[in-house]
Amino acid sequence: MSADYKEELIRLQESGRLRQLRPLAGRQGCHVQCQGKELLNLTSNDYLGLAGDASLLRRFYEGMDAGNLLEGYGLGAASSRLLAGDTALAHQLEQDLALAYGRPAALLFNSGYHANIGILPALLGKNDLILSDKLNHASIHDGMQLCLATHKRFAHRDYDQLERLLVTHRQRYERVVMVSESVFSMDGDVADLSRLVQLKKEFDALLYVDEAHAVGLYGEAGLGKAEEQGVVADIDLLMGTFGKALASIGAFVICGQDLRDYLINHSRSLIFTTALPPVVLNWNRFVFQQQQAMGKQRRHLAALSLQLRQALQQQGLSTGGDTNIIPLIIGGDQETVGLAGKLQEYGFLIFPVRPPAVPEGTARFRLSLTADMAWPDLQGLPAILSRELAAVSSQGRIRGGGTR
Ligand code: PMP
């Protein structure tokens, strides 16, 4: 290996930023085995607890039409959708999605990452402008980098600043697209979609909402924050993934028919990649349908998240957001890595989240709750966190202002 790469890895290690792959074993619902120890998994995006739901899997496999193994459950699509990789299944899933959202069309992508890097560059050119929330996910950022359009970022959820940007710049560009996550992945807070819709209408802009952390969790039918806030019909491009609450892989965008057709012709991350395998399409259809009736799990998760937030606050720890993603800002990278290791000793699997995934000086724990957890799993955590954080700050090792 070239010396520069080695040096960079040493530098990352010394600054607490080295990322490593760590295999987990023996997953049983929200409990995992890590280095021989059973831990409560507080890092997962399996928000409805479906990835470890053996009875759901059994129902899926029992319902398989064995006569149709290759077409319905095969493990390889063999080519891209625009070549021979397209299937009736993909179209059925898209129809299910469009119907559930009550919108004209849906288009599948292989993942949320593919969607976010493929949609903006396809739709926008050099005379266009993207206005993006500063805390939007890396995949949205990467999509903007691939785009010829100008992009500007507004402060997180600062819609007054967004409005000022629209006032100043709208006239100079042909198309303007506003992009926001609905539930922010690292902060667990929520965009004001109604305000975004109002701005989009006032300034004749397009609205692109990433519901990766909301699909399955909000709204009567689990369609996301847009359903809960009653604005599905006003969102031009609503992106959701199957990779999180829906325990699978793949993603979709809900949009108008023309936009769908346009993306099929121009979106490179759709055109130049092998289609999702039939078995995944089938599971996605099954799980998307099943989740619509999971109001009970959604309510349980919301109540559990509130209970943990309140218990953390009672320990003097302040948290942001109001979803099942609970951030606890620690500040320094090394401290966050050290504390994560300590929490594993107590039986909690929490990975440190460090820059560049979050802004400098805001390394954190991102406590991610799932619907298969119960309060006894969590009740010891606030006191442990409070004690361990106090120990670190008394040694003067917290740089980022402790908790917030
Ligand atoms: N958008 C957001 C907000 C995300 O957090 C993520 C994944 N962490 C993605 C998109 C990418 O989705 P996927 O995992 O399906 O590629």
Annotation marks residue 265 as catalytic: no
Contacts of residue 35, Cβ cutoff 8 Å, sequence gap at least 6: none
- Whole-number Å distance, alpha carbon 188 to ligand 1 midpoint, is 14
- Whole-number Å distance, alpha carbon 98 to ligand 1 midpoint, is 21
Whether the pLDDT of residue 403 is over 60: the answer is: no
- Whole-number Å distance, alpha carbon 136 to ligand 1 midpoint, is 10
Q: What is the mean pLDDT of residues 207-225?
A: 98
Which of 111, 135, 137, 238 has most ligand 1 atoms within 8 Å of CB, for mutation?
137
- Catalytic residue, chosen from 53, 244, 267, 305, is 244
DSSP letter at 244 equals S
pLDDT classification of 119: cutoffs 50, 70, 90: very high
- Catalytic residue, chosen from 46, 53, 133, 181, is 181
Q: What is the mean pLDDT of the chain?
A: 94
Which of 108, 113, 269 has most ligand 1 atoms within 8 Å of CB, for mutation?
113
Give the best-scoring range by mean pLDDT among 192-201, 329-338, 382-391: 192-201
Atom of ligand 1 nearest to the CA of 243: 15
Query: What domains, with CATH codes, occur in the chain?
Result: 2-41+294-401 (3.90.1150.10), 60-291 (3.40.640.10)
Contacts of residue 315, Cβ cutoff 8 Å, sequence gap at least 6: 382, 383, 385, 386
The percentage of residues in the chain with a pLDDT greater than 90, rounded to a whole number, is 83
Q: Which residues line ligand 1 (CB under 6 A)?
A: 111-113, 116, 137, 139, 181, 185, 210, 212-213, 241, 243, 251
Q: What is the mean pLDDT of residues 151-159?
A: 98
DSSP letter at 183 equals B
Atom of ligand 1 nearest to the CA of 114: 16
Which tens digit of pLDDT belongs to each residue from 300-322?
999 999 999 999 999 999 899 99
Annotation marks residue 225 as catalytic: no
Which residue puts its alpha carbon closest to atom 13 of ligand 1?
112
Instruction: Give the gyration radius of the chain's Cα atoms.
Output: 22
CA dist., res. 286 & res. 56, Å (int): 10
CA dist., res. 376 & res. 176, Å (int): 48
pLDDT of residue 133: 98
Annotation marks residue 213 as catalytic: yes
Q: What is the mean pLDDT of residues 192-200?
A: 98
CA dist., res. 380 & res. 59, Å (int): 35
Whether the pLDDT of residue 29 is over 90: the answer is: no
Q: What is the mean pLDDT of residues 157-167?
A: 98
Which tens digit of pLDDT belongs to each residue from 61-80?
999 888 888 888 999 999 99
